[in-house]
Structure 1
Amino acid sequence: MTDVEKWLNSLKDDDKSINTIVSYENDVIEFMDFTQKEVEDINKTDIDNYKNYIKDKELTIKTLNRKLSSINSFFRYLKDEEARNIDVVIKVEKTQKQNYLEHSLSKYDFQALVEAAESKNDLRAIAIFYTLYLTGMRVSEALSLKVSDVNKNNISIKGKGSKHREVFMPKRLRDILLNYLNVRINRDTPYLFTSKTGKTGNLSRKTVDTIIKKYANLAGIDKEKAHAHNFRHLYCMSLIEKGISIDTVADLAGHSDINTTRIYTRKTKEQLLDTINNL
């Protein structure tokens, strides 16, 4: 097994998303191909040359820093886990903190996703979309739902950090889930969301990601928005728009740090641009 393969396996163990792992892998392979050196022989000059190389590509500062962070992660793994003699430290480019949201899913986008799923009569996809949006659950939390939870007004779930919290199940969602139960496959498992064929049992996070991207593509939604976590963002933003206090939203979303919730009080680029255009 190569150094890169071992490092990628460690990222999987840390529960990094498939998209993140693929991006990290491509970044490191590009860097190693550029230097044409063994990792122990890489020096500051190599790093500076690579920075200049990727800057010439006119990438966004976010993409540039992601590439540098990927290489840093790889180096840290080799140094800490493989006891390799690596002294190089890669500094990311400094940026001014931007006080707006990027690639957020709007209510219009959400409705377009639902309509795309309705055009295919995909009741499972519709149920997943509404569950993520109307409860603010993380994907792992939504996939832990059981059939017995459908008729409850609120349920207790185990979220991030093994912390338990109460989640409300609005009537609108319960009606949608009851409709999905009429076509649900694999009734031998207690879990609510199952694979379409029933052969592989419970639904996986990867499949949920595939479903979201499928209908985002059909609906013409920017692929940068097509992530499960954006439904959670929409949930929090919608609650704040309704006048719910930040501390209450933090409790409902299971945020341990209220500063995590504060981001949802910010405007998107589109909202800011619309305001500026109307000055």
Structure 2
Amino acid sequence: MNYIESFVDFLKENEKSDNTIGSYVRDVEQFLTFYGKDIKDVTKNDVEGFKKHLNNKEMTIKTINRKLVSMKQFLDFLNEHFKLGLTVKVKPEKQHRQDYLEEMLEKQDFEKMVEAAVRNNDIRAKAVFYTLLKTGMRVSEMLQLTTSDIEKQSITIKGKGSKYRDIFVPVSLRTVWAEYIPHRVKTSEKLFTGQRGPINRHTVHHMIKKYAEIAGVSEVRAHAHNFRHLYCKMLIENGYSIDTVADLAGHSDINTTRIYTRKTRSELVAAVNDL
């Protein structure tokens, strides 16, 4: 019986992505190679031995726990579909939670991307970047903007969970929009357009990746949502209360906002270097 082939079929039926399936299979095969016996005989000691093996390879706790999740999924699958009666429990390694911010877009990253867009005479990209940063909007929210919004101080949009909220527009952003309007392609009433009509999430994603690469900004930082993170962090650094930032960002849970009071990894490194 080829359990792995059956496991792959099961994952496909549950609409797991090819990347997820590939990761699960590699992790399971690594365990089976290490284990080297009939899977029906696996014990807690075998699992603990595998953990020790991974630790000896100096893998991070995050990587080890990902492999343990793959193992758990596989063993649960065998019990459910082949009734093997496996009783071994796979528990993740404990890790002290450190709530620092990782892979955040920083102000200098934003400035470099804007400069790259300006050098490329891409006024639309500049306007998109400033809109994301100066309002903290999600991409889905930004794409709702129309030309009738450009003179407003506040705009009502449909946010997460189909809840309407007000976006407050700073004067500096309205200035950027005014610069963009003469260059705008008039294919729709939406603010951000292209030759075929309103732009979509894919266009915004491609725009961010393109200018991040040109500007030498890390690819893992180059995500639309990181503009929103930077917006919140800048507000916190400018002395605004968590309540105020939560209102401006449209967070329904203030604990979501609280994370922005933490430091980034690079800030923590700078702190210890100052000792």
**Residue 90 and residue 145 in structure 1: after superposition, are their counterparts in 2 closer, same or farther (change >3 A)?**
farther
The answer (yes or no) to whether the contact 2:187–2:195 under 8 Å persists in 1 is no
Q: CA deviation at 1:204?
A: 2.5
Distance in 2 between the 1:130 and 1:43 partners? Answer: 59
- Residue 5 of structure 1: CA displacement? 3.6
Native 8 Å contact 1:127 1:176 kept in 2: yes
Distance (Å, rounded) in 2 between the aligned partners of 1:236 and 1:184: 29
Map of 2:23 onto structure 1: 27
Shift of 1:228: 1.1
* 2:11 aligned to which of 4, 28, 37: 4
Q: Partner letter of residue 8 of structure 1?
A: E
- Displacement of 1:263 in angstroms is 0.7
- Counterpart of 1:236 in structure 2 is 232
Note if contact 1:24-1:67 (Cα within 8 Å) is conserved in structure 2.
Answer: no
Q: Is the 8 A contact 1:4 1:74 kept in 2?
A: no
Distance verdict in 2 for CA 1:242–1:57, change over 3 Å: same
Tell me: CA distance 1:59–1:151, structure 2 relative to 1, closer, same or farther (3 Å): farther
Partner of 1:189: 188
CA distance in 2, matches of 1:107, 1:242: 13
Are residues 148 and 75 of structure 1, via their aligned partners in 2, closer, same or farther at CA, if it must alter by over 3 Å?
farther
Change (3 A) 1:69 1:148: farther
Change (3 A) 1:96 1:154: same
TM-score by length of 2: 0.78
Q: Distance in 1 between matches of 2:56 and 2:124?
A: 45
- 3-state SS of 2:165 partner: strand
Secondary structure of the equivalent of 1:175?
helix
Contact 2:28–2:70 (CA under 8 A) maintained in structure 1: no
Shift of the alpha carbon at 1:70?
Answer: 6.7
CA distance in 2, matches of 1:58, 1:270: 23
- What's the CA shift for 1:123? 1.5
Share of identical aligned residues, percent? 48
Matched residue type, 1:190: E
- Residues 46-76 of structure 1: CA distance to partner in whole angstroms, max 9, x if unpaired? 9938766765664433344445557768999
Contact 2:245 2:257 in 1 (8 A): yes
CA distance in 2, matches of 1:174, 1:117: 18
In structure 1, distance between residues paired with 2:203 and 2:71 = 29
* Counterpart AA for 1:192: L
Shift of 1:147: 2.1
The runs of 5 or more residues in structure 2 that have no matched partner are 1-7, 34-38
SS in 1 for 2:198: coil
Task: Give 1:197 deviation, angstroms.
Answer: 3.5
